[in-house]
């Protein structure tokens, strides 16, 4: 996301491979910090690996377009050619099951995608 914001703020084009339809799980850092703090005092979570994410897959294309809209600059190229090194490590869709975080920590993300993009752009501007 930071790369998307930096590119848009510089008036550059954000290249998306394969149309940008790949899904990713994006969670705002404040929500991650809150999850870590809750885990540090949750005895029932001791020794258990817990996924922290939004639990929702969001396309890279929608994220890049949201960043460009929020910044008011830049562009998105959904026809960018896959560089060989990027194609070799592409994982496909990836998002977490966060039900254990809800069960053990009473945690759920609070910052939605739109608010997260707004905050990220605001932080980059300052």
Could you tell me the CATH number of the domain that includes residue 52? 3.40.50.720
Please indicate, yes or no, whether the overall pTM of this predicted structure exceeds 0.85: yes
pLDDT of 103 reads: 96
Overall average pLDDT of the 1-22 stretch? 95
pLDDT of 70 reads: 98
Domain of 79 in residue numbering reads as 2-125
Instruction: Give buried/exposed letters for 85-120 (b at 16+ CB in 10 A, else e).
Output: eeeeeeeeeebbebebbeebbebebebebeebbeeb
For the stretch 56-93, pLDDT in tens is 999 999 999 999 999 999 999 999 988 888 777 877 89
Q: Which residues neighbour 73 within 8 Å (Cβ) at sequence distance 6 or greater?
A: 8, 9, 11
* Distance, CA of 53 to CA of 56 (rounded, Å): 8
Look at residues 15, 10, 3 and name the one whose alpha carbon lies nearest to residue 76. 15
Domain count, the chain: 1
- Give the burial class of 18: count Cβ atoms within 10 A of its Cβ; 0-12 exposed, 13-18 middle, 19 or more buried: middle
For the stretch 12-65, pLDDT in tens is 999 998 899 999 999 999 999 999 999 999 999 999 999 999 999 999 999 999
């Amino acid at each position: 996301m930071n790369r998307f914001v930096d590119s848009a703020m510089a008036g550059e084009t954000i290249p998306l491979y394969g149309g940008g339809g790949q899904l990713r799980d994006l969670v705002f850092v404040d929500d991650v910090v809150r999850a870590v703090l809750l885990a540090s005092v949750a005895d029932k979570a001791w020794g258990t690996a817990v996924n922290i994410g939004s639990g929702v897959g969001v396309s890279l294309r929608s994220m890049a377009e949201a960043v460009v809209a929020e910044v008011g600059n830049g562009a998105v190229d959904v026809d960018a050619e896959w560089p060989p090194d990027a194609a070799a490590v592409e994982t496909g869709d990836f998002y977490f099951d966060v039900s254990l975080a809800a069960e053990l920590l009473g945690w759920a993300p609070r910052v939605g995608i739109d608010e997260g993009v707004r905050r990220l752009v605001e932080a980059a501007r300052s």
